[in-house]
Amino acid sequence: MSVGLQELRTHELNAALERVLAPRLAAMLHARGPGHCMRVSDLDLEVMVHLCQQLRVQVSGAQVYVLSDGRRASIPSDQAVTSTKLVELRNPLADHTLRPPLLVFIPSDLRAAAEDSFPRDGHLRMPWQGHVIC
């Protein structure tokens, strides 16, 4: 017997997004070499925090953070990165050695100075527009 349409709750949608995006992002991070920078936006902050945590475990050699202005208690302090620190993490070390791949989640309602030095067209954006999650 079919149930018909049911309202999808936010936590159910977020969990489905995490199940789909975590392996894709992990694969992309594994495939990137030192010096590569990636940004992810347009996701719920809760999803960003959960994905950041998962990716840090799955891809231990990468740098994964959530951009923060320091005012959000929902971003764990070890996952949060300020715009100033983000610029530092993006740049090579003093000896010109490239840093590990960097992925930063940028909350859609956050406006920070880092956006000017982390432009949309200069870094890889994750291509999932147009994909349907079933």
Average pLDDT, consecutive stretches of 10 residues, N- to C-terminus, the chain (134 residues): 80 93 95 92 93 96 92 89 91 93 90 56 48 36
* Contact between residue 30 and residue 56 where contact means Cβ atoms under 8 Å apart: no
User: What pLDDT does 65 receive?
Assistant: 97
Q: Is residue 114 part of a domain?
A: yes
Q: Is 74 a member of any domain?
A: yes
Residue 65 lies in a domain: yes
Confidence (pLDDT) at 70: 81
Interacting residues of 98 by C-beta distance below 8 A, sequence separation 6+: 33, 34, 35, 92
H or E, element range at 54: helix 45-58
Do the domain assignments include residue 45?
A: yes
Residue 131 maps to a domain: no
pLDDT of residue 130: 43
Q: How many domains does the chain have?
A: 1
What's residue 121's pLDDT?
45
Q: What pLDDT score was predicted for residue 116?
A: 53
Range of the domain at 119: 10-125
Tokens of 104: 């930063």
Q: Residue 81 domain-assigned? A: yes
pLDDT for position 42: 87
Strands 37-40, 124-125: pairing kind: parallel
Give the pLDDT confidence score for residue 127 in this predicted structure.
Answer: 52
The answer to whether residue 3 is domain-embedded is no
